[in-house]
């Protein structure tokens, strides 16, 4: 099993990234909450990975830290939650916020995540509450480092809208969420993070 990847980030097209390790390129699926912490192309990255083998495919999933990977592994043990949905959940909400929602039985927040209906939210709370008792909830993650200065704000908006639509939000919802952001941002990743945060509060 591949447990960790260390290399150079050469491509980043949510939800997939390509990491070069001594000339070998690894295609890795990662949640948006990991992708917006990776920095720009050419950056050195370390990802904690989970390898999934199916009859029709082999997929490598990558996460910014072991706790996020642990949460992913816990999610895919829930009835009806496969790797794709687990990745979508971790893309739509920060790990700590998700765990807090499980602890509080806050299904209203969970159903705002694309792909999560009321029944799935209730099942997540029931099946995961005991499994996440020992999870330490930290404060919110800091903003990512400044993005490439060559990018324009219009490009950031287009990238952020595309990522939100890929996560399951409607184009109008994505545009509205981005337009509602009033604080300074340093790249598309900031726009995505703040948009997700804003939509979960609605």
- For 20-69, write each residue's pLDDT tens digit: 999 999 999 999 888 888 888 999 999 999 998 888 888 999 998 888 89
Considering the entire predicted model, what is its pTM? 0.67
pLDDT in tens, 73-112: 999 988 888 898 999 888 888 888 888 889 889 898 888 8
- CA dist 198 and 135 (Å) reads 24
Residue 10 in this model has a pLDDT that exceeds 90: yes
Q: Which of 159, 157, 149 is nearest to 14 (CA)?
A: 159
In tens, the pLDDT along 127-173 reads: 998 888 777 554 333 333 333 333 356 677 777 888 887 777 877 88
């Amino acid at each position: 099993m591949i447990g960790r990847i260390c290399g150079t980030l050469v491509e980043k097209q949510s939800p997939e990234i390509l990491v070069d390790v001594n000339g070998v390129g690894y295609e890795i699926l990662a949640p948006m909450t990991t992708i917006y912490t990776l920095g720009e192309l050419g950056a050195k990255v370390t990802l904690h990975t989970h390898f999934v083998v199916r009859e029709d495919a082999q997929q490598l999933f990558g996460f910014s830290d072991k706790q996020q990977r642990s949460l992913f592994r816990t999610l895919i043990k829930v009835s009806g939650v496969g790797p794709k949905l687990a990745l979508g959940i971790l893309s739509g909400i920060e790990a700590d916020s998700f765990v807090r929602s499980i602890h509080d039985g806050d299904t209203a927040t969970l159903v705002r995540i694309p792909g999560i209906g009321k029944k799935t939210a209730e099942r997540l709370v029931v099946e995961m509450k005991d499994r996440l008792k020992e999870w330490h909830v930290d404060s919110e993650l800091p903003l990512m480092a400044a993005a490439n200065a060559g990018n324009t704000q219009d490009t950031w908006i287009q990238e952020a809208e595309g990522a939100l639509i890929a996560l399951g939000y409607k184009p109008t919802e994505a545009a509205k969420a981005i337009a509602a952001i009033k604080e300074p941002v340093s790249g598309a990743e900031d726009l995505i993070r703040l948009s997700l945060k804003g939509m979960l509060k609605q």
